[in-house]
């Protein structure tokens, strides 16, 4: 794997980050990824040369961080770039999400579960409208001075809130966002276009979450009849286990984009998942490091194969433009 520069952090990371949201997460009565599978996935990712791992304080009720921490015990911590997040309190309901008290408590909890002295990146999981962002940034600035957090990032937020956070950090001389984490994939781009414009302008690294639309862009879901949301989901897949799958990931636009991805995959002797990830890695306006989720090491092996897929300009444009109909209008996302 060729490592890439993570925006202005100065960190060199693998071109794909490993997402660990489903570690310890229960859906439809099934633990999607248990401890042993989590460690197998982490081993496989590291064997491929992956060094960038994404987690959050609340994933699997803390099991995601705990299992990563256990796995890290016999590894060299310095070889890995660990990103976690805070927002929803795991500790107490008597504070606002990004209040000083909550941010401090959540970061201490994450460090404890991960068994590490520092987080490479701390993302704000959401934007807290009840706490002035400068207070949150001041708190994180202190954590940076204490060496507990190295870089700060922002996940889902309106573009203007991202801009406001950058401005407040600038005028107060606080540590500013250098990394972002929007939901972003080939069928979900207009929705975050303004946010991505800010990232391009400010040289912020973009680490898209759900880069395969939760598995939709792997092509394993089939449309049933003419309806957008009538989906045939393979047994045991996220679409079969969770009710929200169609709302979150399926759209009319998505089906058109998937057709284009499948066609390019056939030409390249690649899989749709690999082409969908290659399309993200080929973004040229900002560093783009997709956070891949995988339930099995076979899925992970397939997804990591995306680093070998190089799209021509025409193939990139065909996927990009599949979101439009003949009259130039964007298909409604319906999501």
Bridge partners of 85, per DSSP, are 123
206 forms beta bridges with: 180, 288
- Assess 299 for contact with ligand NAP (CB under 6 A): yes
**C-beta of 142 vs 301, nearer to ligand NAP:** 301
* d(C-alpha 301, C-alpha 38), whole Å: 14
Site for ligand NAP in 212-251 (CB under 6 A): 212-215, 218, 220, 237-238
Residues 48-77: x where in contact with ligand NAP by CB under 6 A, - otherwise, as a string? ------x-----------------------
The residue among 283 and 299 lying less far from ligand NAP, judged by its C-beta, is 299
Total residues at the site for ligand NAP (CB under 6 A)? 29
Q: What is each CA distance from 191 to 183, 196, 330, in whole angstroms?
A: 9, 10, 11
Cα–Cα separations (whole angstroms), residue 175 to 136, 168, 262, 277: 11, 10, 42, 31
Residue from 45, 71, 174, 209 in contact with ligand NAP (CB under 6 A): 209
Nearest Cα to Cα of residue 219 among 166, 165, 260, 164? 260
Token digits of residue 332: 């409604």
Binding of residue 294 to ligand NAP (CB under 6 A): yes
Q: Which is nearer to ligand NAP, 238 or 318 (CB)?
A: 238
* Binding-site member from 69, 153, 165, 211 for ligand NAP (CB under 6 A): 211
List 7, 15, 19, 254, residue binding ligand NAP (CB under 6 A): 19
- Catalytic annotation present for 229: no
What's the closest the beta carbon of residue 68 comes to ligand NAP, in angstroms? 11
Of 69 and 215, CB closest to ligand NAP = 215
Cβ proximity to ligand NAP: between 152 and 273 the closer is 273
Residue 181, interface with ligand NAP (CB under 6 A)? yes
Pairing of strands 26-27, 30-31: antiparallel
CB atoms within 10 A of CB 87: 20
The one segment of 65-73, 222-230, 293-301, 322-330 that binds ligand NAP by CB under 6 A: 293-301
Distance CA 57, CA 106 (A): 7
Length of the chain: 335
Nearest to ligand NAP of 170, 224 (CB atom): 224
| Active-site annotation holder among 3, 59, 123, 249 | 59
For the chain, report the end-to-end CA distance as a whole number of angstroms. 34
Residue 178 in tokens = 């250098």
66: Cα within 13 Å, side-chain hemisphere: 11
Closest-CA residue to 38 (of 57, 65, 56, 58): 65
Summarize as ranges the residues that interact with ligand NAP (CB under 6 A).
19-22, 54, 125, 155-156, 181, 209-215, 218, 220, 237-238, 273, 291-295, 299, 302-303
Residues classed as catalytic: 59
């Amino acid at each position: 794997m060729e490592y890439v520069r993570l925006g202005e952090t100065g960190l060199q990371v693998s071109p794909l980050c490993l997402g660990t949201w489903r570690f310890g997460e229960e859906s439809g009565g099934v633990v999607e990824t248990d401890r042993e599978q989590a460690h197998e996935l982490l081993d496989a990712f590291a064997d491929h040369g992956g060094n960038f791992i994404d987690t959050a304080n609340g994933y699997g009720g803390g099991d995601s961080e705990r299992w990563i921490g256990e796995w890290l015990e016999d590894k060299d911590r310095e070889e890995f770039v660990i990103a976690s997040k805070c927002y929803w309190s795991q500790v107490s309901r008597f504070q606002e999400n990004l209040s000083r008290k909550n941010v401090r408590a959540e970061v201490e909890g994450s460090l404890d579960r991960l068994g590490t002295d520092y987080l490479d990146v701390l993302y704000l999981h959401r934007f807290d409208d009840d706490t002035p962002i400068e207070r949150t940034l001041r708190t994180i600035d202190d954590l940076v001075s204490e060496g507990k957090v190295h870089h700060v990032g922002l996940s889902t937020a309106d573009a203007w809130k991202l801009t406001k956070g950058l401005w407040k950090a600038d005028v107060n001389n606080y540590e500013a966002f250098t990394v972002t984490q929007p939901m972003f994939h080939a069928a979900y781009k207009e929705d975050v276009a303004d946010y991505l414009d800010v990232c391009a302008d400010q040289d912020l690294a973009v680490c898209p979450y759900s880069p395969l639309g939760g598995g939709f862009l792997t092509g394993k879901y089939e449309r049933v009849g003419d309806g957008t949301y009538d989906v045939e989901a393979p047994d045991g897949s996220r679409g079969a286990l969770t009710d929200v799958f169609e709302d979150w990931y399926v759209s009319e636009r998505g089906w058109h984009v998937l057709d284009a991805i499948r066609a390019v995959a056939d030409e390249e002797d690649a899989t749709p998942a690999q082409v969908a990830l290659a399309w993200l890695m080929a973004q040229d306006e900002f560093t783009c490091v997709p956070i891949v989720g995988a339930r099995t090491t076979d899925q992970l092996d397939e997804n990591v194969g995306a680093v070998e897929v190089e799209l021509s300009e025409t193939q990139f444009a065909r996927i990009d433009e599949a979101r439009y109909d003949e009259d130039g209008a964007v298909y409604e996302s319906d999501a």
